[in-house]
Amino acid sequence: MKKWKKPFVSAMMAMVLIASVTACNGGSNGSGADSKKEEAGGNPETGQKTGKLRLLGPAGSNKYIKFEDREKYPVWKEVDKMLTDAGLQLDYELVPAEQYKVTIQTRMASGSSLPDIVNISALDNTTVLNLAKQGVLLDLNPLIEKYSNGNIKKMYNEEMPFAKKSTTSPDGNMYWFSNLHKKTYQGNIPAPVSLTMLLRKDWLDKLNLPVPKTAEEYSQTLKAFREKDANGNGKQDEVLVYDPSAFNGAIAQWFGLGTDITAVDVENKKVVSPWYQDGIKDYFRYLQQLVKEGVLDTSLIGATGEQKQQKMTENQVASLTDYNLETYQEPTINGGGEFLPLMPLQAVDNITPAAQLEPPFLVWQKYAITKDCKDVEAAIKFFDTIYSEKYADLLYWGIEGQTYKKDANGAKVYINNVSEEELAKMGQATGRQLFGDTVFPRVQFANLEFELIDKPQHKIDNELNILNYKPYFVNMNDMYLAIPDDQQLEKKTKILTNLTTYSQELATKLALGQKSLDNWDQYISELKKLGLDDLIEINQQLLDRYNSIQ
Amino acid sequence: MVRGSTMAASVRRNPNKIKQGSVAVDIVLYALALFICLITLYPFYLVVIMSISSPTEVAAMNVFWYPKGFFLDSYKLIVSDTKMWWAYSNTLIYVAAGTLLNCLTAVLGAYPLTVRTLKGRKWLVAFLLIPMYFGGGLIPSYLLVNKLGLYNTMFAVIIPGMVSIWNIILVRTFFTTIPDGLKESAFIDGASHLQLLFRVILPISKPILAVIAIYSVVGIWNSWFDALVYLPNEKLHPLQMYLYRVVVQQSVDLKMLSLEDTKNAVANMLSNIQLKYAIIVFTTLPVIFTYPFFQKYFIKGALLGSLKE
């Protein structure tokens, strides 16, 4: 007993000593998880005074291209130079992304020792609006008027006019800046991509089947895949992966249905609900048929990504909803395969099938200035730097000749089509990979040209056909709704809790044939009781306000 | 003695009586015990074989009974990750410091509560019981830690966790079982309270200290929530936080992402599916290895906790 006692005690003591020393180190690091200190003082070249800012945001989750290695990337040197030229001295506190939500929730709730600029995307709308009301977040409009050099306004009013609509609060103020994204084709045509049903092209070729042109043919094709054992493993296990509980699987749109309990019909400026739309009963009849024939895999309803991935890897997925331009599914199939994106298929005689699109204009994430910011002028300068074309270029495209070039028509395309691991070794990342979504908003002028470069022809054809396809619904309905006020938000939250559950259960049971379509009126009256009409009304108000903001 | 001799007598009177039940029942019982053992151990076994199977087989969920394919690259990746070693050394520091402090506060807190001459002793005990059942909540605790200047330092994890009322009560219960005569004789020999505690009581209290130490070690080794809230600096993260991040990172809701972001998220998810298991093995092994050695103390601890008058 005694023999080990002394070494043990001294080892323990040593540990405690180490602990206290290391802990002190952590302390002196201050709040800086990743802080950068520079000599204080002005910028000798421009004669500007230096504005110091503390920024808090999540660290990027890229495994290879990391913000802490930023000095080795030429693109960072350019951005750093822009910031220095603007007379800014920045102190970054980047918290691991997986931890960020908890960190920002506790820190904002405690309201003490806040940074100057903070990424508050992880907070829900209610919390953000409350913080704004309490004065924790500053109204940006007067600050922009007073201090901006015009960059912010130019970006928000001219380049991305949709941005203002999504970020103006009901009180007319603006409390956060956002990531802004615009995708165009041939210079100025807005270029949405679509979410559609993908079908195994190699199986069609193997079994010599034509590409289905109607919903009925589609179902026949899936049946044929099973009966003729398309994957050749001797089992009838070729399935359709489809979640009938929501309406965001692309089959729903073939029947002219919206993409969620309430959906935005962008062209007609109307909020609709699939429950009230004409094709709804036919849609469920169609799903019932797919379930009955064993084509739709019911075990995957509500399954996790991992479970679906399992089917994919085992070469059993005949069809699923995904982006028309995706190329990430095929490499995960054991034995390989190829997916063909389908155009919207005619399902009912008098209904034109709709497409499901991802809008070409996106606004997301929130970056705010807090009440603790001492130098608001510097904070606005920071955002003036961000909302410049030069920054946007560095962020999305990187450096000309190194990460991108211009093709014959002048469209930008990436040069290095290699893995991120390689890019990290070469030091040739774009700004988006290196620092996007941290404390640096993403400003993106994307184009379709580069997306199409390495895609197979059948995917390119689909995309070019879908560009001007109408009618359509969008996958992100909230993108077209203005920020709700307190009452609207409260009412919406209250309605959605129960309505979503009921709607999902109902849709699933109808699809599985566990509930009969004969009792339709009863379901509708239950949906009404749970507030479906109120929800449509509120969202219509929000859509109207969205469209009225100039 | 009396009990023993009567039992011995009864055995002598009827030698068959000690055989309880039939062989069949024994077999059933053993089978049952074996079955329970298997279903308890299987998850561990599954994680281990998943961690060394090839990633495609793991993603396809094909691995059930034995490893399919042989793939050690996940372990290579973990071992070559400096962040993991940081987290490992941090955990060792938290465990060592936390355990030591926990034992110290438990002993120092428990002893006065056993001194009969201490006035208001019952009230003190009752007072201690309150924070055992009611906590301040997350935000007040956060505010306290922040105002004390502990936020984002190692102390934020060590100091708030260094006093455990539960441990104090355990130790107090143990101390009360020590005969008063021992204490009185020490006093007669001229010992002070501190001398009595450290020279007389502690040397015979090793079992209870071992119990507390083990509880602390296991508790601190497995904890991650304090780190999640108080340590935004990943250089201070303990091992379980590292594990938490790997597991959380892969469960991204793909529906919420745009086309470009989806590509990266899918790639990330795939490479993590198998990696997760390797990390679980790596982070759990040390604690699993200590279990057999300390098992007897665990049982003792459970018994000690049963009496809290």
Judging by beta carbons within 10 Å of its beta carbon (0-12, 13-18, 19+), is residue A350 exposed, middle or buried?
exposed
B165 occurs within a structural domain = yes
Q: Are both A429 and A533 inside the same structural domain?
A: no
Which of the residues B158, B209, B259, B262 would you substitute to probe the A interface, choosing the one with the greatest number of A C-beta atoms within 10 Å?
A: B259
Q: Angle B239-250/B259-304 helices, nearest 10 degrees?
A: 140
Residue given tokens 């429950």 in the structure block: A275
**Distance in angstroms (rounded) separating the CA atoms of residues A442 and A106:** 25
Query: Do A309 and B273 count as a contact with CB atoms less than 8 A apart?
Result: yes
Residue B12 belongs to a domain: no
The answer to whether the Cβ–Cβ distance between A99 and B100 falls below 8 Å is no
Task: Give yes or no: residues B37 and B79 share one domain.
Answer: no
Distance CA B236, CA B248 (A): 19
**Is A187 contained in some domain?**
no
* Cβ count near A88 (within 10 Å): 21
Whether B153 has its CB under 8 Å from any CB of chain A: the answer is yes
- Tell me phi and psi for residue A406, to 5 degrees: -105, 135
Predicted local distance difference test score (pLDDT) of residue A320: 95
**How many angstroms separate the most distant Cα atoms in chain B?**
85
Q: Are residues A215 and A175 in the same domain?
A: no
Q: What is the mean pLDDT of chain A?
A: 88
Q: Closest Cα to residue B233, out of A101, A32, A64?
A: A32
Q: How far apart are CA A541 and CA A548, in angstroms?
A: 10
Q: Is the peptide bond before A471 cis (omega within 30 degrees of 0)?
A: yes
A309 within a domain of the structure (yes/no) = yes
Contact A321, A475 (CB under 8 A): no
B64 & B90 share domain: no
Q: Which of B61, B264, B271 sits opposite A310 (nearest CB)?
A: B61
Tell me if A93 and B249 make a contact (CB, 8 A cut-off).
no
Which among B143, B237, B259 has CB closest to A358? B259
Residue A447 falls within a domain, yes or no? no
Decide if B90 is inside a domain.
yes
Indicate whether B190 and B235 sit together in one domain: yes
User: Is A276 in the same domain as A351?
Assistant: yes
A5 found inside a domain: no
Query: Is the Cβ pair A99, B241 closer than 8 Å?
Result: yes
- Cβ–Cβ under 8 Å, residues A245 and A301: yes
On whether both A200 and A156 belong to a single domain, the answer is no
Q: Is B67 buried (19+), middle (13-18) or exposed (0-12) by CB count in 10 A?
A: middle
**Same domain, yes or no, for B150 and B221?**
yes
Clarify whether residues A93 and A212 are in a common domain.
no
Q: How many Å lie between the alpha carbon of B38 and the closest alpha carbon of chain A?
A: 25
Distance from CA of A157 to the nearest CA of B (A): 24
Q: Note the pLDDT of residue A1.
A: 42
Angle at B238 between CA B233 and CA B240, to 5 degrees: 120
Q: Which domain holds residue B48?
A: 20-71
Q: Which residues contact B140 (CB under 8 A, 6 or more apart)?
A: none
**Tokens standing for A377?**
């002028």
Query: pLDDT tens digits for chain B (309 residues)?
Result: 444 444 454 445 565 555 667 888 889 999 999 999 999 999 989 998 988 888 777 776 777 888 888 888 788 878 888 888 899 999 999 999 999 999 999 999 999 998 888 888 889 888 888 888 887 788 888 999 999 999 999 999 999 989 999 899 989 988 988 888 888 999 999 999 999 999 999 998 888 888 888 889 889 998 989 999 999 888 999 998 888 887 776 554 444 456 666 666 666 666 677 788 888 888 888 877 777 777 777 676 666 655 544
Chain A, nearest residue to B91 by Cα: A19
- The position carrying tokens 């015009």 is A150
Residues B146, B61 share a domain: no
Domain end call among B71, B89, B104 = B71
Is A375 in the same domain as A503? no
- CA separation for the pair B253, A61 (Å, rounded): 15
**Rounded Cα gap, residues A415 and A401, in angstroms:** 8
Q: Is A239 helix (H, G, I), strand (E, B) or coil?
A: strand
Does residue A285 lie in a domain region?
A: yes
- Which residues in chain A touch residue B259, judged by CB atoms under 8 angstroms apart? 193, 323, 325-326, 358, 451
pLDDT at residue number A27:
36
Domain identity same for B134 and B242: yes
Amino acid residing at B2: V
User: Is any Cβ of chain A less than 8 angstroms from the Cβ of B266?
Assistant: yes
Interface of B with A in 127-146 (CB under 8 A): 138-139, 142-143, 146
Does A294 reside within a domain? yes
A26:B270 CB<8 A: no
Same domain, B215 and B296: yes
Range of the domain at A239: 193-358+458-548
Q: Do A323 and B262 touch (CB under 8 A)?
A: yes
Q: Which residues pair with A264 in a beta bridge?
A: A271
Question: Is position B267 within any domain?
Answer: yes
> With contacts defined as CB-CB under 8 Å, which chain B residues touch A259?
none
Count of domains forming chain A: 2
> Cβ separation of B96 and A306 shorter than 8 Å?
no
A329 to chain B: closest CA residue: B266
Contact A24 B153 (CB under 8 A): yes
Any A CB within 8 A of B202 CB: no
SS (H, E, C) A15-84: HHHHHHHHHHHHHHCCCCCCCCCCCCCCCCCCCCCCEEEEEEEECCCCCCCCHHHHHHCHHHHHHHHHHH
Asked if residue B67 and residue B79 are part of one domain, the reply reads no
Letter for the amino acid at A400?
E
Residue ranges in chain A whose pLDDT is less than 70: 1-48
**Are A19 and B93 inside 8 Å of each other by CB?**
yes
- Mark whether B250 and B181 lie in a shared domain: yes
* Nearest chain B residue (CA) to A104: B229
Say how far apart CA A487 and CA A2 lie, in whole Å.
71
Nearest residue to A432 (alpha-carbon basis) of A118, A61, A86: A61
Chain B closest-CA separation from residue A112 CA (Å): 8
Closest CA to B257 of A306, A437, A342, A106: A437
Is residue B256 domain-shared with residue B125, that is, in the same domain? yes
Q: Answer yes or no: do A397 and A262 share one domain.
A: no
C-alpha span between A252 and A243 (Å, rounded): 11
Residues A99 and A147 grouped into a single domain: yes
To the nearest whole Å, the CA of B59 is away from the closest chain A CA by: 6
- Chain B residues touching residue A446 (CB < 8 angstroms): 260
Among residues A395, A401, A424, A429, the alpha carbon closest in space to that of A413 is found at A401
Tell me, yes or no, whether B289 lies in a domain: yes
End-to-end C-alpha distance for chain B, whole angstroms: 29
| Residue numbers in A near B151 (CB within 8 A) | 31
Q: A2, A34, A98: which to substitute to probe chain B, counting the most B Cβ within 10 Å?
A: A98
The ipTM, to two decimals, is: 0.74
| CATH at residue B272 | 1.10.3720.10
Q: What confidence tens digit (pLDDT) does each residue in A34-73 have?
A: 443 333 344 444 456 788 999 999 988 777 888 989 999 9
Whether A124 and A231 share a structural domain: no
CA distance A146 to chain B (A): 34
Determine if residue A110 is left, alpha or beta; phi over 0 gives left, psi from -120 to 50 gives alpha, anything else beta. alpha
pLDDT of residue B24: 87
Q: Cβ contacts (< 8 Å) between A362 and chain B: which residues?
A: 258
Same domain, B170 and B51: no
User: How many CA atoms lie less than 13 Å away from A381 in the CB half-sphere?
Assistant: 19
| C-alpha dihedral sign at A51, A54, A56, A57 | positive
B115: phi then psi, degrees, rounded to nearest 5: -80, 120
B37 and B92 together in one domain: no
Report the predicted TM-score, pTM, of the whole model to 2 decimal places.
0.80
Contacts of A207 (CB under 8 A, 6+ apart): A224, A225, A228, A230
Q: How many angstroms separate the CA of residue B149 from the nearest CA in chain A?
A: 8
Give the pLDDT of residue A44: 46
Q: Which residue of A has its CA nearest to B233?
A: A33
> Does residue B8 lie within any of the structural domains?
no
Task: Indicate if A248 and A346 belong to the same structural domain.
Answer: yes
B236 CB neighbours in chain A (<8 A) are 26
Most A CBs within 10 Å, among B151, B235, B241, B261, to test the A interface? B151
Kindly state whether residue A484 falls inside one of the protein's structural domains: yes
Domains in chain B: how many in total? Answer: 2
CATH code for the domain of A372: 3.40.190.10
Position B3 in a domain: no
Q: Which of B100, B139, B267 sits opposite A12 (nearest CB)?
A: B100
Residue A35 belongs to some domain of the structure:
no
Residue of A nearest to B150 (CA): A27
Interface contact flag, B151 A31, Cβ < 8 Å: yes
Distance from CA of A91 to the nearest CA of B (A): 14
